[in-house]
Amino acid sequence: GAGVSQSPSNKVTEKGKDVELRCDPISGHTALYWYRQSLGQGLEFLIYFQGNSAPDKSGLPSDRFSAERTGGSVSTLTIQRTQQEDSAVYLCASSARTGTGNEKLFFGSGTQLSVL
Amino acid sequence: KNEVEQSPQNLTAQEGEFITINCSYSVGISALHWLQQHPGGGIVSLFMLSSGKKKHGRLIATINIQEKHSSLHITASHPRDSAVYICAVTEMNYGGSQGNLIFGKGTKLSVKP
């Protein structure tokens, strides 16, 4: 597609359930980022993939969070045993080339996760 | 730890006014991004800059590396400019990845007709 695609756009789940959020970056973009925006809060870095390098997981808030990127393209963010504080908008972005911080970011429209 | 501070937090302007939003950060960076987030959540990258000045339409972004400061200007503001404007930086951190953006809390702009 032309832009970064995220699915689902909305997800309501019960506390304790696992959820999977998907991101399909722009074709050819080697860098992929996951961010989180909680209600009334700023954006928070979660994880960064760059090509075949080991991902930077330094932003993941707990070991309940994990992410993978298969074939250098689609990425899945998994949250196990969801908690109410996980409720947020989860945003994915991608950029071309090396992801050094010097490339323009393209954002998906996000997944609104609500944990009841 | 790099702190990214934006000012003002909220800004209300009349249509046609010249608007300035400021961003300051505390340590060395390799790049600074200005993002726009409209109600409903979609985020658009406006500028990425590491020095000097960039212009796109009515938007101008400047950065002063020595002073660790950037400004976003909007000329001839319009109600459709109403959004949250977010500053984000990539630290010049040789110990970690350069994908870790640090975000300011955003400036909420409302332009009245």
Q: What is the pLDDT of residues A57-99, one digit of tens each?
A: 989 999 999 999 988 799 999 999 999 999 999 999 998 865 4
B10 touches chain A (CB under 8 A): no
Q: Give residue-wise pLDDT tens across range A7-58.
A: 999 999 999 999 999 999 999 898 899 999 998 788 999 999 988 888 989 8
Distance in Å, alpha carbon of B29 to nearest chain A alpha carbon: 9
B88 touches chain A (CB under 8 A): yes
**Site from B97, B105, B107 to mutate, A interface, most A CB atoms within 10 angstroms:** B97
A74 touches chain B (CB under 8 A): no
B104 touches chain A (CB under 8 A): yes
pLDDT in the model for residue B96:
54
Residue B26 · residue B93 · CB < 8 Å = no
Q: Higher model confidence: residue B47 or residue A39?
A: B47
pLDDT in the model for residue B97:
60
Q: What is the mean pLDDT of chain A?
A: 91
Interface touch A45/B48, C-beta < 8 Å:
no
pLDDT in the model for residue A99:
47
Name beta bridge partners: A89. A37, A112
Helices (H) and strands (E) in chain A, counts: 0, 10
Q: Give residue-wise pLDDT tens across range B17-31.
A: 999 999 999 988 888
Is a pLDDT exceeding 90 seen at residue A112? yes
Dist. CA A111–CA A8, nearest whole Å: 6
* Whole-number Cα distances in Å, A34 to A45, A49, A99, B51, B98: 7, 9, 13, 26, 14
pLDDT in the model for residue A104:
81
B63 touches chain A (CB under 8 A): no
Nearest chain B residue (CA) to A99: B99
DSSP 8-state symbol, A81: S
Residue A32 structure tokens:
């992929």
Q: Which of A93, A104, A109 minimises the CB distance to B48?
A: A104
Quickly tell me which residue has 């302007």 as its tokens. B13
The average pLDDT across B74-98 equals 84
Which has the closest alpha carbon to B81: B106, B113, B55, B41? B113
Is a pLDDT exceeding 90 seen at residue B68? yes
Distance in Å, alpha carbon of A103 to nearest chain B alpha carbon: 7
B31 touches chain A (CB under 8 A): yes
A48 touches chain B (CB under 8 A): yes
